[in-house]
Amino acid sequence: MTVLTIRDVPDEEVQTLKVRAAQAGQSLQAYVRDLLARETAKPTLAEMMERLDREANADVSAGDVLGVIDEMRAGR
């Protein structure tokens, strides 16, 4: 794992994070690590737009869609 150092964080923000960590029953380190994990788990708007563009340009025919629908109905 990588060690991450963040400099010049205002004291008020650190205090707020400490209070929130305590309220969540976590250490400051665990709380901030969870914040980072949640933030990196969700795609950015640019990433989402790229994904939508890829999917919108997928080479799928109406026959492909109808075939999948038929398969799903048969599997009920």
| pTM of the complete model | 0.62
- Domain positions in the chain are 1-42, 44-76
pLDDT at 2 (0 to 100): 92
CA 42 – CA 14 distance, rounded (Å): 24
Confidence band, pLDDT 50/70/90 cuts, at residue 75: confident
Name the E strands within the chain: none
Helix (H, G, I), strand (E, B) or coil at 73: helix
pLDDT at 59 (0 to 100): 81
* pLDDT tens-digit map of 7-63: 999 999 999 999 999 999 999 999 999 999 999 999 999 999 998 888 887 787 889
